[in-house]
């Protein structure tokens, strides 16, 4: 009997600096049977593209028309035999055809405790400012499946942090990002068992 197990292939979508993408690459790089084969961005100058190139990973930059009005992305992902799409700071809404082509195969991380502080326009420092102004006692991260609405897919993981000593939105951002870096790579690895 053969012990052959197919490699599980991941595409990371990111719009910005790519610190989560970098942590995921570091973690998964040490695990056999898992490979990140594509980093896709909607921004030509996103730093995450440099990280991908340093790791010899194929990159692709989408524009609005190709992303929303053509089947280019679905075809690209299917041709690469992608098993899981990991959003790591990707700020565009995922089109319906992509969700349909990858059912329960798209994960997102959100830097707050959903269902609070989610939805269009709620990203990065906007979230931490809102959390700070509301004098929340805690914040955290949410990792969830992606559906056709911003931040409303099934939650699969949350981690909390205490805000009692916090003096600024920036401090919240730092604490939350630490949680993202600690848990997102682990949750992605674990979720791959299900795909």
Positive or negative: CA dihedral 79, 85, 86, 92: positive
- Complete edge-to-edge strand list for the sheet that includes strand 138-145: 58-61, 34-41, 8-13, 84-87, 106-110, 138-145, 155-162
Beta strands 34-41 and 58-61: pairing type? parallel
Interacting span for ligand GAR (CB under 6 A) from 18-26, 58-66, 99-107, 131-139: 18-26
- In the complex, the smallest distance separating the C-beta of residue 145 from ligand GAR, rounded to whole angstroms, is 14
Q: Taking the mean position of all CA atoms in its chain, how far away is CA 26? A: 15
Per CB under 6 A, contacts with ligand GAR among 121-140 are 123-124
- In the complex, the smallest distance separating the C-beta of residue 38 from ligand GAR, rounded to whole angstroms, is 16
Q: For this structure, is 110 an active site residue?
A: yes
- In the complex, the smallest distance separating the C-beta of residue 151 from ligand GAR, rounded to whole angstroms, is 6
Q: Which of 27, 60, 110, 144 is catalytic?
A: 110
**Of 54, 64, 1, residue with least CA distance to 25:** 54
Q: Taking the mean position of all CA atoms in its chain, how far away is CA 187? A: 11
> Among residues 40, 77, 88, 101, which is the contact residue for ligand GAR, using CB under 6 A?
88
Cα distances (Å, whole numbers) of residue 53 to 12, 50, 58, 83, 152: 13, 5, 7, 21, 32
> Among residues 10, 14, 40, 107, which is the contact residue for ligand GAR, using CB under 6 A?
14
- In the complex, the smallest distance separating the C-beta of residue 2 from ligand GAR, rounded to whole angstroms, is 38
User: Quick one: 72 or 152, whose CB is closer to ligand GAR?
Assistant: 152
Helix (H), strand (E) at residue 11: strand 8-13
**Is 52 one of the binding residues for ligand GAR (CB under 6 A)?**
no
**Of 150, 91, 90, 162, residue with least CA distance to 115:** 150
Per CB under 6 A, contacts with ligand GAR among 164-193 are 177, 180
> Among residues 20, 41, 73, 139, which is the contact residue for ligand GAR, using CB under 6 A?
20
- In the complex, the smallest distance separating the C-beta of residue 106 from ligand GAR, rounded to whole angstroms, is 13
The C-alpha atoms of residue 39 and residue 54 are separated, in whole angstroms, by 12
Positions marked active-site: 110
**Which chain residues interact with ligand GAR by CB under 6 A?**
14, 16-21, 88-89, 109-111, 123-124, 177, 180
């Amino acid at each position: 009997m053969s012990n052959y197990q197919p490699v599980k292939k991941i595409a990371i979508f990111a719009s910005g600096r790519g610190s989560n993408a970098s942590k995921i690459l570091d973690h998964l790089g040490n695990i056999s049977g898992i490979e990140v084969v594509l980093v896709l961005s909607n921004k030509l100058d996103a730093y995450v593209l440099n990280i991908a190139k340093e790791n010899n990973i194929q990159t692709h930059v989408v524009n609005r028309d190709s992303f929303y009005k053509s089947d280019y992305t679905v075809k690209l992902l299917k041709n690469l035999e992608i098993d899981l799409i990991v959003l790591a700071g990707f700020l565009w809404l995922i089109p319906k055809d992509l969700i349909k082509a990858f059912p329960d195969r798209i994960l997102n991380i959100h830097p707050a405790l959903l269902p609070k502080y989610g939805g269009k326009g709620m990203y990065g420092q906007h979230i931490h400012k809102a959390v700070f102004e509301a004098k929340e006692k805690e914040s955290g991260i949410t990792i969830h499946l992606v559906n056709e609405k911003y931040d409303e897919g099934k939650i699969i993981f949350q981690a909390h942090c205490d805000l009692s000593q916090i003096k600024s939105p920036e401090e919240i951002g730092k604490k939350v990002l630490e949680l993202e870096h600690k848990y997102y790579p682990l949750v992605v690895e674990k979720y791959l068992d299900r795909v």
